[in-house]
Amino acid sequence: MSDAPAMRELLGEDAPTNWGKWGPDDELGCLNYLDAKEVLRGAQHIRSGDVFTLQIQMGRTDGPGDPLWPGREGIKRKNELDESTWDGEGAPAFPGGLHYADDTAHIFLQGSTQYDALGHVWYDGQLWNGYDARSTVDAMQRASVLPIAEKGIVGRGVLIDIARHRGKQWLDKGETFDHTDLEAAAAAQGVTIEPHDILCVRTGFMKYWYELNDKEKFYEGFCEPGLTYSRELVEWFQQREVPNLVTDTIANEVTYDPNSGVALPLHCALMRNLGVTLTEIAWLDDLADACAEDGRWSFLYVAAPLKVVNGTGAPVNPDRDPLRDRG
Ligand code: UVW
């Protein structure tokens, strides 16, 4: 039995929240900050026509496969129809002789680059905005990914490259950073993290997954690098009104808070309490290289997760900058 404190004890009875801020039925949380004005603010950064798609490849069968939170499985894709269907008897016969291929997939909705629903994690029996955790049973009735997908996420994105800032290819397992490190890296990059920015943070850990090419070693003593909990960090997110945190790690934060041993406290402090949407397993390396090359770290960010009814999350292929700002 772990002697880590309960989530409530770590985060405090008076933990910062945004519950009720957007009404009793809200399911978007801080994405409410991304109004039309924010879309136009993001669009002001359009200069070149470069496009960066930020999803990892889904269902790779070579190398280490897809990176996953322990206990999840990668996509299982299966051909249902292909040319061999027409080898035998009973194949569909279309006038004109049309053949086609179809496939099915069994997927964990969090098994690739993804948006988490605001109801994805909870403690003390309540989800985002105070919804009853029993509303997750059988199907996520409140704060599912659907409202997020219906809205779409568009605004000014900013990329903070912590790995580059620390002179590393990737952060070590369990290596932490906080809001002051984000600010320091931003200053070194010559960019400001502005209110309502979609905050993208690169640790290099996705690159580590593919370069290491060794699942066993990757999961040995599993503890991803990432942001680490403090009250000040949570207040920083609340004051900055960050709508969406996007990282190239499986779970957006250091897996176990090094001070308390609690697993994923920022999921609770940011997602459940503040309504910050989390996006995980993003591929940020190509974008980071391009940003470093031309010294620009802000862009128009566009993402549309799949509209999965009652989904706890949904795969996504976000774009940084359909037309990235190159000045
Ligand atoms: C968990 O919440 C366990 O994982 P993730 O947010 O990475 O989907």
Cα 317 to ligand 1 centroid, rounded to whole Å: 18
Q: What is the mean pLDDT of the chain?
A: 95
Long-range CB contacts (within 8 A, 24+) of 288-292:
288/159, 288/161, 288/164, 288/202, 290/50, 290/52, 290/324, 291/159, 291/161, 291/189, 292/161, 292/164
Token pair for 82: 């292909």
pLDDT > 90 fraction of the chain, expressed in percent and rounded: 91
Find the 308 Cα to ligand 1 centroid distance in Å. 17
What radius of gyration do the chain's Cα atoms show?
21
Closest-CA residue, ligand 1 atom 1, reads 251
CATH superfamily placement of domain 23-68+109-320? Putative cyclase (3.50.30.50)
Compute CA distances 218 → 89, 112, 324, whole Å. Answer: 47, 17, 33
Given ligand 1 and candidates 128, 148, 267, 312, which is best to mutate, with the most ligand atoms within 8 Å of its CB?
267
Task: Supply the pLDDT for residue 179.
Answer: 98
Q: Ligand 1 centroid to 101 CA: how many Å?
A: 33
123 Cβ closer than 6 Å to some ligand 1 atom: no
Neighbouring CB atoms inside 10 A of 23's CB total 8
C-alpha separations of 29 from 23, 119, 223, 307 in Å: 10, 11, 28, 17
Nearest 10 degrees: Cα torsion 33, 36, 41, 44? 150
CB 161 less than 6 A from any atom of ligand 1:
no
Q: Is residue 26 classed exposed, middle or buried when 0-12, 13-18 and 19+ CB atoms within 10 A define those classes? A: buried
Q: What is the dihedral of CA 15, 20, 22, 23, to 10 degrees?
A: 170
CA dihedral (109, 110, 114, 115) in degrees, to 10, reads 90
Would the CB of 146 count as within 6 Å of ligand 1?
Answer: no
pLDDT, tens digit, 9 for 90 and up, residues 156-189: 999 999 999 999 999 999 999 999 999 999 999 9
Distances (CA, A) of 194 to 77, 186, 302, 319: 41, 11, 17, 20
Within the chain, all domains assigned CATH 3.50.30.50 are found at 23-68+109-320
Query: Across-strand partners of 154?
Result: 302
Predicted local distance difference test score (pLDDT) of residue 189:
98
Q: Among all chains, which residue has been given the structure tokens 């026509």?
A: 49
Q: Note the pLDDT tens digit of each residue in 58-68.
A: 999 888 999 99
- pLDDT tens digits for range 13-52: 999 999 999 999 999 999 999 999 999 999 998 777 789 9
Reference 204, options 287, 279, 271; nearest CA is 287
Cβ proximity of 207 and 259 under 8 Å: no
CA of 69 to the centre of ligand 1 (A): 7
Ligand 1 atom closest to residue 120's alpha carbon, by position in its atom list: 2
Would the pLDDT of 214 be above 60? yes
Pick from 63, 302, 29, 320: nearest CA to 202: 320
Q: What is the structure's pLDDT at 318? A: 84
Of the pLDDT bands very low, low, confident and very high (cuts 50, 70, 90), residue 320 is low
Q: Is the CB of 251 under 6 A from ligand 1?
A: yes
Average pLDDT over residues 273-289: 98
What's the CA gap between 50 and 284, in Å, rounded? 14
Pocket test for ligand 1, best of 280, 281, 312 (most atoms within 8 A of CB): 280
The span from the CA of 209 to the CA of 171, in Å, is 12
Q: For the residues 284-298, what does the mean pLDDT come to?
A: 95
Does ligand 1 come within 6 angstroms of the Cβ of 276? no
pLDDT digits (tens, 9 = 90+) for 97-119: 999 999 999 999 999 999 999 99
